[in-house]
Each structure stands twice: as C-alpha cells, then as structure tokens.
Amino acid sequence: MNGAHLSSAAWQAVVQGLQQAVWLVDGHSFQVLFANAAAVDLTGRRAEQMVGRPVQELVASPEDEIFWSRPLSEIAMGICSCTEVWNAGRNRAVAVERRVQTVQVAEGNGASQSPLLLLTMLDRSEQEDSRQQHELVLAELRATLDSAADGLLVCDLQGAIRAFNQRFAQLWSLPASLLSRRDDGAVFAYMRRQLADPTGCDERMAGFPGGPMQEAIDVVRLGNGVILEQRSVPQLTHGRLAGRVYSFRDISRQAEVQASLRLAAQVFESSLDAIFIADEQHVILRVNPGCEQLLGVTRSPLAGSAVTALVDAGMDEEAFLAQVARSWGQEGFWEGEVTLRHAFAAGSSPIHLSWVVLRDEGGTVVQSIGFMRDLTQQRAAQRRIEELAFTDALTGLPNRLRLHERVQAAIDAAQGTDDEFAVLFLDLDRFKIVNDSLGHPFGDRVLKLVAQRLQRCLRQSDMLCRLGGDEFLVHLPDSGVQVAEAVARRILEEMLQPFQLDEMHFSIQGSIGIALYPQDGRCLDDLIKHADTAMYRTKERGRGSYGFYQPQMNSNLLARMKMEHAMRQALGQGHMAVHYQPQVDLVSGRIVGAEALLRWSDPQLGAVSPAAFIPLAEESGYIVTLGAWVMEQAAREAAYWQDSETPLVISVNVSALEFRQPGFLQRVAGLVEHHGLRPRQLELELTESVLLQDAQDKEQMLSALARMGVGLSIDDFGTGYSSLAYLKNLPIHRLKVDKSFIDGLPGEGGEAAIVQAIIRMGQALGLEVVAEGVEGSAQREALRAMGCLFYQGYLCAPALPRQQLRDLVLQRLEH
C-alpha cells in the first residue's frame, strides 16, 4: 500500500504512535505547530502547552539557544546532534539525540506557505546514564589503582604495556617524559637500567615458569638500594587469557627487618655471652648455647625456671627483684655482679649480669633479656696482672714494689718496738763481662740459676727480690747483725760451688752489703742506698765478700763517682800516658817485646792504678775510647821499633767490650796499614773472658786477625776457664802465665806444678809461653829450668815511658 494514499488522520495516528518525539515547527516563526505523544512524554508538557509556543522554550542549555538562533539552512541540515531537553514533569534535563529537517507538506492549493521543520528527539537518557555510570566506574577504578600501595603494570600477551599505575612509576622512578608518551621499548629499557643486576632480567620479566597461567614471584634489586617483590599473575578477560599483571611491592624495609632479625638470631645463637629471655614474671623462656655452656645444662630444664633460681645477687630475692625493677624504671636495664646458684656451678663463679627490660608501646613489661659473662678468667687475669706488677719477669722473684710493701709493713709494725731487720744488697762480681762476652740470653739464664741458688739459702719468712740487672735484695725479718752475717756467709759459700749451663762449668761470685733497721735507715730507700754503698765498699776491698754499712761509706761512693768523672777528663787534658813493660828472652837475656800499659797521673788524685780505674772504665763502657787511644799509641811505637836494630813486638791489652765493638777488625787493619807495620810486630792480649764470647762470632774474629798476621796472646792464663782442647782450635800465638802462679816459684807447691803444666802444654801446642810478674832471679831460674822462654816483670823493669824503654834497650845492647 502506498503511504501517499493515507489519510491525514492515519498519518496523525502514525506520528502519534512513534516512539520518537516529533514536533512540527513553523520555519519562519519557530512556533510549534504539532507535538506527538512521545514529545509530551519527553518534555512532561501537554501538547497544548507546546503548540503555538516558540520551540526555544524546549531549550535546556545555552548551546541550544545558539543552535536555534542560527540561520534556518544550518538548523535544518538534518544533522544528528546530542543535546538535552528539559522535562518539566521530572524537573531535569533529559539527554536526547536531536535532528531537524525541513518537510514539504502539500496543502490543498498545492503550494507551501512557509517551510515546515520536523524536529525529532530520541530519548538517550538511559544510554547517557549508563555511559556516565561507566565513566564513573572507570574513574573509580583508576583512582583505586593509583592509590594502591603496590606498583601495577599490565601487559598484553605480546608483552606490550596496556596500563600502569602511579605507584609503579614512582617505584621505578619513571621520568615524566616516559609517562606522557607511549613507548614500551623506552619504558622497559629504562626499567632495565634501574636494576642492580640487569643480567637475566629480560627472561625474568618475560618468562613464566610453569606456563602463562602460573603466578610468579621474584625479588628485584634496584641500583638505588630499593628491593622490590615482583609478582606476576595472568590477566583473564571473560575467562580468557588476555595478558599479565605485574605488581611490585617495596620490601626494602621488610628485607632490612628480616636481615636484622636473622642477625639477632645469629647473635643469640653464637654469642659467647650467655643470654636468656624471660617473660614478664621473670620466668625463663629461652636460653642460647652460650648459656647452656655457662650453666652446664641443656635448654629444657632451664626454660620454665625463674631467673632468681639461676643467679644469686647476694641479697634476698624480693629485694633483688625490687632493685631490678627500680633500675629498669630509671635506666631500662640492671647490671651487676652475681654468682651462679649451686645447682649450676661447682664453685661460686663470679658472673657479670646485664638484664635489659623489653616493654610494649604502653610501657608494660613484656619480656626481658639477660646477658651473663663469666668473670672467672677476667679475675684470674687481673690477679695475674697484679702478680706481674709485683714480680720480676725474668726470675719470677718478687720485685722492688713487692719488697717495698713488705718492708713498709715491717717498718709500720716495728714502730715503738725494739724490732729490727736486715737488708742485704747482693751484686754479682764481673757479671757485666759475662753479659758482654757471652751475650744477654746466656746472662739471663745465669741470673735464673743464681736466683734459685740464693733462694735455697733463705728461710720461708725471708724475701729475696731482684732489683734489676745483677742486683738482688734480701729482706731478713727479725734479724740483727748475727743473722745477717750468717746469711751473707751462707750465700757466699753457696755461690762458691761451680755453676753449670749447657756444657760449661763456671763460677760466679757476689759481693754483699748489709744495712740494718733502724740504725742504718728508717725507710726502704735509705736502707737500700746504704746496703748498696756497703756492697760497693766490699767490692773495692776485694770481691766475693760481705760488709756492713758504716756511715763514712757514703763518702767512698762519692769518691768513685769523682774518679769516673776525672777519668773521662784525663785523656783530653793529657793526663794519660802509655808505658811499656819489657818482655825478655830467658835464653839470650835480650828484650824482645814490650806490653803497653796505660798510666794515669791526675793532678789531684795522683797516680791512679789501672787496677782501680780500668774496671770503672769497663763498667761504664769508657774503656772503648781509652783502648782505642792506647792501641793507636802502641801501633806507633811498634812502627818505631820495627825499623830499629831490635824490632820489639808491642803487645796491647784488649777488653772484652772493645773486642765486641763493630768495626774492631777494620780499626786494627787500618792501624797496621797506616803505620806500615809488619802485622806480627803488633800483638793483642786477650783475657780468657774474651775467648768465652759467643763462639761463632769470636772464632771468626780470631781467624780474621790471625789471617791479618797480628799476634794473639792469652793474658792472665790459668785464672779463667780455658781448656786445652779448646785452645787447640784457636789461632793463638802466646800464653801469658798469670802472676799469681809465678808468685809460687820456686817451690814444690801446686803453683809450680801448674806453671810446669802450662809450659808443657804450650810447647805441645806450639805456643810461646810468657811468665808474668817475675820479680826475682830465683823465679827466673826456675822458669828457665822448666823450659819457659820469655818473662816479664819487675826483675827486668816495670812499665816505662817510651824514651826510658828505648834507653834501656840500648843500654842492654851495649852490654
């Protein structure tokens, strides 16, 4: 059926039945000519309220106002546009889709009066509402994502980024430039650069171990120190895999906490301190292995016992806990010394307990931790340190400090009584030579032996102490002159017994000075000083004896000091000279050599004997200077004699200390060269103590001297410890028999036998023998009869100034 044939009523019915709102509007006046039922519904106005009214009354927004003010040609373009229409019934604007078209309506005369506009509106409010709803949901979702604590990254199945939230950008520090443009490659490259260890990161990001439907967890460390936990889960849309969601959580703090918890656990388990953890009732919950070790039990019986069942603070339990609570309140911990209860310790071991309280946020005690340290060893070490402070490290004897304590106590106790006591000062004779020639380690061993021996001479109540070096001090409580004297004698007798160290037998003597309390001093320092003075005095009189302090002794000590001072000045002031004592050939009676002997003539002291000042020079080390000077003079004298008719050999004494000087060999060689000497014209006289020096060094020195060609002789032979076998291996030319043996000649005594033995031994070893200190012709004849070839002594001449020696030699030649 053709629509053109429908009646107007039928058309009206059709238009009225349309769901779309329809208005017919006059194209000139814009008055509404017709509104259908749907238009009535849409606007909430009756048709009569609209018909005859300007269509602009339907307008709900300024844009619509503008729309209807445009030219008709623009309005009626038939464009579909979205706008709103006001619904008076519902009192709200309703979203609509609007279209305006011109329609040509053929009137009865067939000509149109004015253009008609067909305005149609389709209610879109439902769609609009749902769109707005949708947008709202999306915005909420976005906000939710952005406010999530985790960083989220959504990728599709190909790995392309679909979305990420702000937290993600923040965690990875994505720069603004990457947020504003879509460049997945740049984002992933940037993320890669943030990693502390980028190796394998691509696989970790892309790979889904166990398949794409699996969840994966990984820990990612960034270069800035942040640690992220990365989880990735499959993203399903309508049940189908659409991509993957990565979430990143900052676990730096958590990792830190975990690390410190692990550390704490490790400390707890491995700490050497014994640690317990107790609850708020002081009942033990846990103990560490250190605690088990300290208490000697395993954990099980300890857990559940009270702390006070473990330790004893030396006070009533309640009082102790009250004190602990007070301390916790003020400082958060209690510390002090406790002992372990008997159940846990054999003795009462001292323990240092440091007990720390743990409170909750409200300040209530929840637990406590106790740290216990065994003080037994520390106490022992303390005792040991105190002991060492009072002990001589070498000999283990009490030292001066301990002696001081003891003597002070004796002095305090003696106040107002007649109590007396004695102090003995013992100094070993010539110990310096032992040290110089055999070395300090040997000397130390000798001192230990001496200490043991001295100790044997004393009572339990006496105290022997070492002051240092070779000086010992004895305190004899309740002793006067007799006891002191008896002890001194006993010591000296005991010291006469030979000592043995390694293979060596030797004797060491000592000199003892005695001071008595109270007459010789009322404090230890005075007593020591005076005993020391007495000892020096004794030494001067002859070694190996003892003597009591006498007040005038102090002046003697002063005299010694004066002498040492004068000796050091004498060389520079020209008060020293070298004299020469002739050595005579027993067969021909000719002078064949001379011994250089030092002479000191002091303007104040007069002629000082070498026997007095040489030991002083040896003790002070000044002998090195003196000896060098004498050797220089002797070398010059030897040079003089070597070109004369009677080329005398000049011998010179060398002390142990001189011999040990570095450069000694070079000095001798230098002198020989400087004076153009035939080396054999110079002879070095060494005492047996020089030969006792450190074996290897000494033998090398002697060989070097022998190779150089200078003569070597042993002085004072017989007084020392040299053995025959020992001499055989040394490059020695001469032995000088000590005067003490020659004094016994002629005669039948032991001395004569010794001299004879020495002469025979010398002959057997191919050594020349020189007898020293020959004063009489009977001695000379006895020596001649024994086969001795040379002598030296007052019988020929004492040591003479060089000119006198020259005169004497000349004189002898002439006869």
Ligand X SMILES: Nc1nc2c(ncn2[C@@H]2O[C@@H]3COP(=O)(O)O[C@H]4[C@@H](O)[C@H](n5cnc6c(=O)[nH]c(N)nc65)O[C@@H]4COP(=O)(O)O[C@H]3[C@H]2O)c(=O)[nH]1
Binding site for ligand X (CB under 6 A): 581, 597-598, 609-611, 614, 623, 627, 630, 653, 655, 715-716, 773-775, 793-794, 798-799
Q: How far is the CB of 800 from ligand X (least distance, A)?
A: 10
- The residue among 682, 668, 669, 703 whose CA lies nearest residue 640 is 682
Instruction: Give the Å distances, CA to CA, from 226 to 193, 216, 222, 301.
Output: 14, 20, 5, 45
Whole-number minimum distance, CB 771 to ligand X, in Å?
A: 10
609: enclosing H helix or E strand:
none
Work out how close the CB of 406 gets to ligand X at its nearest, in angstroms, rounded to a whole number: 42
Non-local CB neighbours of 759 within 8 Å, separated by 6+ positions: 737, 769, 786, 787, 788
Burial tier of 483 (Cβ tally within 10 Å: 0-12, 13-18, 19+): middle
Nearer to ligand X, 484 or 755 (CB): 755
- Shortest distance in whole angstroms from residue 622 CB to ligand X: 11
The 3-state secondary structure of 418-465, one letter per residue: CCCEEEEEEEECCHHHHHHHHCHHHHHHHHHHHHHHHHHCCCCCCEEE
Helices (H), 303-375: 317-331
What is d(CA 100, CA 67) in angstroms, rounded to the nearest whole number?
11
Identify the CA nearest to 431 among candidates 466, 470, 488, 472: 470
In whole angstroms, how close is the CB of 557 to ligand X at the nearest point? 22
Least separation in angstroms between residue 626's CB and ligand X is: 7
Q: How far is the CB of 664 from ligand X (least distance, A)?
A: 13
Q: What's the closest the beta carbon of residue 687 comes to ligand X, in angstroms?
A: 7
Looking at beta carbons only, is 334 or 659 nearer to ligand X?
Answer: 659
Residue closer to ligand X (CB basis): 64 or 715: 715
Where do we find the tokens 């605690």?
291
Q: What is the dihedral of CA 297, 301, 304, 307, to 10 degrees?
A: -30
Q: How far is CA 797 from the centre of its chain?
A: 70
Residue 685 tokens, joined: 């006289």
Other C-beta atoms lying within 10 Å of the C-beta of residue 244: 22
Whose Cβ is closer to ligand X: residue 22's or residue 578's?
A: 578
Least CB distance to ligand X at residue 786 (A) = 18
Shortest Å distance, C-beta 415 to ligand X: 50
Complex with ligand X: residue 11 or 794, whichever CB lies closer: 794
In the complex with ligand X, which residue's Cβ is closer, 324 or 799?
A: 799
Phi, psi of 274 (to 5 degrees): -85, 125
Nearer to ligand X, 564 or 775 (CB): 775
Pairing of the two strands 711-717 and 768-771: unpaired
Contact 351, 375 (CB under 8 A): yes
Distance, in Å, from the CA atom of 331 to the CA atom of 334, rounded to the nearest integer, reads: 8
Question: Between residues 338 and 597, which has the closer beta carbon with respect to ligand X?
Answer: 597
Give whichever of 122 and 612 is closer to ligand X, judged by the CB atom.
Answer: 612
Nearest distance, CB of residue 808 and ligand X, angstroms: 15
Considering all CA atoms of the chain, what is the largest pairwise distance in Å, rounded to the nearest integer? 200
Cβ nearer to ligand X, comparing 492 with 566: 566
Nearest approach in angstroms of CB 443 to ligand X is 21
Task: Tell me how far, at minimum, the Cβ of 613 lies from ligand X, in Å.
Answer: 9
What is the strand order of the sheet 116-123 is part of? 32-35, 21-26, 116-123, 92-103, 81-87
Please, how many CA atoms are within 13 Å of residue 717, restricted to the half-sphere of its CB? 27
| Beta carbon nearer to ligand X, 266 or 573 | 573
Please name which of 671, 636, 649, 644 lies closest in space to residue 581, comparing C-alpha atoms.
Answer: 649
Closest to ligand X by CB, 85 vs 433, is: 433
- Please say which residue, 630 or 755, places its beta carbon nearer to ligand X: 630
CB of 783 to ligand X, least distance (A): 13
CA 727, 731, 732 angle in degrees (round to 5)? 65
Distance in Å, CB of 685 to ligand X, minimum? 6
**Of the two residues 83 and 655, which places its CB atom closer to ligand X in the complex?**
655
**Angle (CA) 34 40 42, round 5°:** 120
CB 436 within 8 A of CB 367: no
Of 278 and 774, the one with the shorter C-beta distance to ligand X is: 774
How deeply is 666 buried, as exposed, middle or buried, from its count of CB atoms within 10 A (0-12, 13-18, 19+)?
A: exposed
Amino acid at 681: Q
Strand 682-687, strand 510-517: pairing? unpaired
Q: In what order do the strands lie in the sheet with 471-476?
A: 463-468, 471-476, 421-428, 510-517, 546-548
